[in-house]
Structure 1
Amino acid sequence: MKVAVGGPLKLAFRPWVEGIEYVPAEGPAILASNHLSFSDSFFLPAVLDRKVTFIAKAEYFTTPGVKGRMTAAFFKGVGQLPVDRSGARGAGQAAIQSGLDVLERGELFGIYPEGTRSPDGRLYRGKPGGLARVALASGAPVIPVAMIDTEKIQPPGKVVPKLMRPGIRIGKPLDFSRYQGMEHDRFVLRALTDEVMYEIMTLSGQEYVDIYATAAKRQLADAAKAEKQAQKQAGQARKEKEAEEATEREAGGQEADKAAGTERSGS
């Protein structure tokens, strides 16, 4: 499946890649990437000779019907693992264990520290619970990755991608053995995650925003909702004003007719 998907992707989009020599030819490693588009999980594996396993929503694997089965087969074929995200705490532990299982097999594990796609192309604060815990528990090196322009190829909500060249910039592996055995120290988890995010920012050239992407999405949704409500209220006020002006015109017309009638009677 990797050949079947990766070959056409490289042929159609011709992604450019820098720093591919930093990905080890064998052995476990964590690829920590920014997340701009749904297609990120396909372009990165497409340019590598080794299999990369990412985590995907369980819904992609459990949707009924022919389309659901085809989607599940596709995601399994490109190396994505289902994780049930219905319970936040349980989902986080399941994701960590899935990553450790991949690394224990000596394979590459891909993860998006932001936890979700960027809503506006900027780089957001990394969540320490997944990346840092997997890195410290496994001892595997963390390789920062920057996806470039993939959000322009397939923005959120767009089904048909635009044909253009995305880029992938890979940085030097980061060794966090100095933190070994400190995976329960929240300050260590934060420091490790921030160090990785700094490297991703340097590679990608993105503007960094020190809030979580999930919070930014809520803010954008709230702002859009408020704007829609304001437009609705403005429209209602405009209608009321137009109705009031129409009533005033009608009243003025009636007064004019009355005055004209009085004048005719007097003459």
Structure 2
Amino acid sequence: MYHVLHAVVPPLAKAVWRPTVHGLEHVPSSGGVILASNHLSFADSMIIPIVAPRPVVFLAKSDYFTGTGVRGVLQRGWFEGLGMLPVDRDDSRAAIASLETALEVLGRGGAFGIYPEGTRSRDGRLYRGRTGVAHLALTAGVPVVPVGLVGTEHLQPVGARFPTMARVTVSFGAPIHVAGRFEGVPSGRARREVTDEIMAAIGELSGQQPAGVYNERPAEA
């Protein structure tokens, strides 16, 4: 079912939104790879798989896969067609489970998408990266392709239920290779250095102003 849906959903969405794309040649055609992107909108996890030259797995709230009725079926089909995998964010082990899922994807030679900032930027600045992305790259020994998104905050603004029409640009940067570079370096320091290198590359692609601090998820009302 995934292959049928994936053959339909991304081309259809690309025809509707017509994003501008740069640097597709930087995405390896095969083998495990991490696509690390800035995060401006819920729609980011749709735009990247739509324009990428190969399937990219993102994690999505399990709620999106459990709906009932016609709407539930359509929603589940949309997310499955984009290659998303469900994760229960209310589970106390969600962070560990997410890393395990990512390593499974990378281990079988897949492409995994991640937002090192952790949550969407609500003021347009680029926040400090969390080191989970470096942990994945160093553990799996795979390259990281930085991704810069521009304009997706207008495609689906915070609070909007559905995407609208907006000009969007997606830029893929040169792969960052980490395998063999940090032998003998303390793991914490290696993860921090790799993460900072990735975030600097993302910033070059997105043109965002660095915030210099971590982005915290807004408290639930």
Normalising by structure 2, report the TM-score.
0.89
Aligned to 1:127: 130
Match in the other structure for 1:137: 139
Q: Distance in 2 between matches of 1:110 and 1:134?
A: 11
Alpha-carbon distance, 1:64 to partner: 4.8
C-alpha distance after superposition, 1:213-266 (max 9, x if no partner): 216x45xx9xxx9xxxxxxxxxxxxxxxxxxxxxxxxxxxxxxxxxxxxxxxxx
1:100 deviation in Å?
0.9
Counterpart of 2:155? Answer: 153
Contact 2:27 2:53 in 1 (8 A): no
Partners of 1:144 and 1:200 within 8 A in 2 = yes
CA contact (8 A) 1:114 1:213 kept: yes
Q: Does 1:21 align with 2:25?
A: yes
Q: Which has the larger helix fraction?
A: 1
Contact 2:24 2:53 survives alignment (8 Å): no
> Structure 2: how far apart are the matches of 1:180 and 1:119?
37
Which segments of 5 or more consecutive residues in structure 1 lack a partner in the other structure?
226-267
Q: Does 1:39 align with 2:43?
A: yes
Q: CA deviation at 1:66?
A: 4.5
Please tell me whether residue 92 in structure 1 is matched to residue 95 in structure 2: yes
Q: Deviations over 1:143-196 (max 9, x none)?
A: 0000110101110111343322210011100011212586x7222222211111
Q: Which runs of 4+ in 1 moved over 6 A?
A: none
- Check whether the contact 1:30–1:143 (CA below 8 A) recurs between aligned residues: yes
- The answer for the alignment partner of 2:112 in structure 1 is 109
- AA paired with 2:164? K
Shift of 1:61: 2.2
User: Residues 21 and 84 from structure 1, CA distance in 2 versus in 1: closer, same or farther, beyond 3 angstroms?
Assistant: same
Identity %: 45
Structure of higher RCO (CA pairs closer than 8 Å, 6+ residues apart): 2
Asked if 2 retains the 8 angstrom alpha-carbon contact of 1:30 and 1:141, the reply is yes
Unaligned runs of 5+ in 2: none
Structure 1 counterpart of 2:112, which letter?
Answer: F
Equivalent position of 2:207 in the other structure: 205
2:80 is matched with which residue? 76
Q: CA deviation at 1:69?
A: 4.0
Q: Which residue of 2 aligns with 1:49?
A: 53
The Cα offsets for residues 96-119 of structure 1, whole Å up to 9 and x where unpaired, read as 111111111111111111111111
C-alpha displacement at 1:132, in angstroms? 1.3
Distance 1:35 1:29 in 2: 19
Letter in structure 1 aligned against 2:198: V
- Of residues 138-147 and 39-48 in structure 1, the stretch that sits farther from structure 2 once superposed is 39-48
Letter in 1 for 2:71: K
Aligned residues: 216
Distance 1:180 1:101 in 2: 23
Q: Which residue matches 1:176?
A: 178
Which stretch shows the higher mean deviation, 13-22 or 2-11? 2-11
Indicate conservation of the 8 Å contact 1:141/1:176, yes or no: yes
Counterpart Cα distance in 2 of 1:66 and 1:12: 22
Contact 1:34 1:113 (8 Å CA) reproduced: yes
